[in-house]
């Protein structure tokens, strides 16, 4: 019996196919390209066939600190940060001096060697590196090397977690974080992502430039040429700014090619957006001087405005600036607030198709603002509202539901409001998240059921902690006469219930009893 089992095992082993060896070279190269830089080279020892396979990978990924990990960690722990940066600065002047070489520079040479031995085609490369490689100029040299290899996308990140904060000398700190970038870097890659740098460059016209996407994360532009970069990047379509700082605390965006702009986690005095062809703007958690906000892209079709208020703590006001809410944007750009003298006024709502906002549906000021926006939006088809806003931030306003802001109770606001042309003839969908089924929210939804002439879908995402009575009050809206014969109302249970039990609304409703 045992011999028969052994024969079966041997027969199975004989019939087994080495699927990895049968993979085509192109697919093997794609799999290898997912590995970090050193690991990708180590695959060459797996088989004779794989010896040079890594040279054909489409992506390279480097983490300088991980490449010679134990040696670099020992070196960092047993040396002075300032001394290392100073030596790296000298190495920039005399790169061949052996006395200036250290473990970090050896890792930099290794990165360069892997690039030089790559055959291609290499499409993308990501590099996370130490401050010494900024000070030595290695980071810029890598980018130049990637340009020569025809790379399309480059992502560079400066490692800040360990010891740059220990350097007290301002010149050394600056050298450990600053990139002196030749402008061809901005014109010959299609996608550039930079994180944690200060940088300078001198823009100049380049008719062959191809940059389409620029992503800057925690970057400081230390000269007054950011607008120059945008104006000379004639193919740039997507601009993403996260935690960035700008010269004289002013951000100006005026690029004829731009189509998408996202501003995230900014704290800045002045924001000016004039880009003629921008179609999408996302504003997420921005603190600015409201008097110095100008948004005037005439072709804007999608506006999204959010705030991650939990990330601010109580810091809604910083350096004389304050949190920019969705209500503020509507009031300022829609002309509800009087601008300071000499400012440019105008509406960004003329061509909007999608409007997505953080908005408190129980606040009358917010309701006045969204009502005004609907009157100005002649082409709006999609309205999305996130009702999960922070009650601690009220933008120096009072609770208008309890004062004489209106000549009638606030809950009657939408009943007393005549439907806009947008509501009657344009709006196709309404989506509300964070819905609590209070009186104000029910009246808001009812307004679109009774007056939405062409609306086709209303989607309501409840919060978890609703009472049965509240949810039933909203469910009763299903029986109201719908002006639009195509209207479908989709009620969604709370997110916690959906994760555990799925999206059965009736089942969730029964669980509330």
Look at residues 178, 173, 136 and name the one whose alpha carbon lies nearest to residue 156. 178
- Which conformational region is residue 120 in: left (phi greater than 0), alpha (psi within -120 to 50 degrees), or beta? left
Query: What pLDDT is recorded for position 225?
Result: 85
Given a cut of 70, whether residue 30 has pLDDT beyond it is no
- Which conformational region is residue 319 in: left (phi greater than 0), alpha (psi within -120 to 50 degrees), or beta? left
- 365-375 in b/e burial notation, b at 16+ Cβ within 10 A? bbbbbbbbbbb
pLDDT-based confidence at residue 168 (cuts at 50, 70, 90): confident
pLDDT-based confidence at residue 26 (cuts at 50, 70, 90): low
Which phi and psi (to 5°) does residue 240 adopt?
A: -125, 120
Distance CA 348, CA 354 (A): 12
Q: What is the pLDDT of residues 35-57, one digit of tens each?
A: 555 555 555 444 555 556 667 78
Q: What is the pLDDT of residues 345-378, one digit of tens each?
A: 447 899 999 999 999 998 888 999 999 999 999 9
CA angle 112, 116, 118 (to 5 degrees): 115
Domain boundary assignment for the chain: 33-176, 353-390+410-512
pLDDT above 90 as % of the chain: 61
How many Cα atoms occupy the beta-carbon half-sphere of 380 within 13 Å? 28
Q: What is the pLDDT of residues 392-422, one digit of tens each?
A: 555 544 444 444 567 888 889 999 999 999 9
Please give the helix or strand (H or E) that residue 402 lies within, else none. none
* 55 secondary structure, DSSP code: G
* Range of weakest confidence among 7-16, 77-86, 148-157: 7-16
Query: What pLDDT is recorded for position 475?
Result: 94
Query: What pLDDT is recorded for position 36?
Result: 57
Strand order in the sheet with 267-268: 267-268, 287-288, 321-323, 317-318
Averaged pLDDT of the chain: 85
Residue count (the chain): 513
Q: What is the pLDDT of residues 120-136, one digit of tens each?
A: 788 999 999 999 999 99
Query: What pLDDT is recorded for position 406?
Result: 77
Contacts of 150 (CB under 8 A, 6+ apart): 120, 121, 122
Please give the helix or strand (H or E) that residue 83 lies within, else none. helix 81-93
Rg, the chain, Cα only = 29
Look at residues 92, 81, 226 and name the one whose alpha carbon lies nearest to residue 164. 81
Q: What is the pLDDT of residues 194-247, one digit of tens each?
A: 999 999 999 988 888 899 999 999 999 988 889 999 999 999 999 999 999 998
Q: Would you tell me how many other CB atoms lie within 10 Å of the CB of residue 280? A: 17
Query: What pLDDT is recorded for position 344?
Result: 39
Distance CA 412, CA 474 (A): 16
């Amino acid at each position: 019996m045992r011999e028969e089992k052994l024969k079966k095992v041997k027969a199975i082993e004989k019939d087994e196919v080495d699927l990895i060896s049968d993979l085509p070279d192109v697919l093997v190269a794609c799999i290898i390209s997912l590995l970090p830089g050193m690991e990708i080279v180590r695959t060459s020892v797996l088989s004779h066939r794989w010896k040079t396979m890594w040279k054909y990978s489409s992506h390279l990924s480097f983490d300088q600190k991980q490449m010679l990990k134990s040696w670099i960690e020992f070196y960092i722990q047993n040396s002075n940060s300032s001394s290392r940066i100073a030596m790296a600065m000298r190495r920039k002047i005399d790169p061949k001096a052996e006395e200036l070489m250290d473990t970090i520079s050896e890792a930099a040479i290794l990165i360069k060697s892997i690039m030089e031995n790559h055959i291609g085609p290499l499409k993308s490369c990501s590099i996370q590196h130490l401050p010494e490689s900024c000070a030595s100029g290695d980071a810029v040299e890598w980018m130049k090397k990637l340009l020569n290899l025809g790379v399309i996308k480059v992502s560079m990140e400066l490692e800040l977690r360990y010891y740059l904060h220990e350097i007290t000398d301002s010149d050394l700190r600056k050298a450990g974080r600053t990139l002196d970038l030749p402008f061809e870097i901005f014109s010959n890659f299609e996608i550039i992502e930079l994180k944690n740098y200060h940088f300078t460059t001198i823009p100049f016209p380049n008719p062959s430039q191809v940059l389409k996407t620029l992503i800057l994360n925690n970057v400081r532009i230390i000269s007054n040429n950011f607008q120059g970069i945008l104006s000379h990047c004639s193919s740039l379509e997507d601009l993403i700014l996260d935690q960035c700082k700008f010269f004289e605390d002013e951000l100006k965006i005026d690029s004829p090619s731009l189509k998408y702009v996202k501003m995230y986690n900014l704290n800045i005095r002045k924001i000016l957006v004039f880009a003629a062809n921008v179609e999408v703007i996302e504003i997420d958690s921005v603190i600015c001087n409201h008097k110095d906000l100008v948004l005037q892209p005439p072709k804007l079709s999608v506006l999204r405005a959010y705030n991650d208020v939990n990330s601010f703590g109580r810091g809604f006001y910083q350096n004389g600036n304050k949190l920019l809410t969705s209500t503020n944007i509507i009031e300022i750009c829609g002309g509800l607030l009087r601008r300071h003298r000499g400012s440019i006024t105008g509406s960004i709502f003329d061509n909007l198709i999608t409007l997505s906002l953080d908005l408190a549906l129980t606040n009358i000021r917010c309701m006045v603002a969204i009502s005004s926006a609907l009157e100005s939006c002649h082409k709006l088809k999609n309205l999305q509202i996130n009702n999960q806003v922070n009650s601690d931030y009220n933008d120096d306003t009072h609770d208008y539901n309890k004062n004489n802001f209106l000549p009638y109770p606030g809950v009657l606001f939408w009943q007393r409001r005549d439907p806009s042309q947008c509501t009657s003839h344009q709006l196709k969908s309404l989506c509300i998240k964070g819905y609590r089924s209070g009186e104000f929210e029910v009246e808001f939804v009812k307004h679109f059921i009774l007056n939405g002439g062409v609306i086709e879908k209303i989607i309501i995402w409840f919060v978890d902690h609703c009472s049965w009575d509240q949810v039933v009050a909203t469910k009763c809206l299903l029986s109201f006469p719908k002006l639009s014969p195509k209207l479908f109302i989709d009620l969604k249970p709370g997110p916690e219930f959906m994760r555990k039990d799925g999206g059965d609304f009736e089942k969730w409703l029964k669980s509330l009893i």
